[in-house]
Amino acid sequence: MLQSARYTRARIGVGIPGKYHATLFNKFSKAGRPGLKGQVSIGLGMSIIKTLVEWHKGEIWFRSKEHEGTTFYIELPK
């Protein structure tokens, strides 16, 4: 029986608009926007995270609502 560990990271903040959900994990995604403190994004961060998770045979997904926040889930096999 394969067991796994699930990690959850919830964040209250700007949320991710629905139009970006399908492409969030793509390289140079148009979902990149200034952060809460004006940080500039080039759209690579989530792609890198997804690649690392997949290298470990894991999965990553999220639930988000604009102006309310986002919760990311990562599940990795033990």
- Convert the pLDDT of each residue in 27-76 to its tens digit: 987 776 666 677 777 778 899 999 999 999 999 999 999 888 899 999 99
Predicted model pTM: 0.79
- Per-residue confidence (pLDDT) for residue 53, from 0 to 100: 96
Query: Phi-psi bin for 67: left (phi > 0), alpha (psi -120 to 50), beta?
Result: left
- Sheet bearing 69-77, strands edge to edge: 4-11, 69-77, 59-65
What is the biggest distance separating any 2 CA atoms in the chain, rounded to whole angstroms? 46
- Per-residue confidence (pLDDT) for residue 13, from 0 to 100: 77
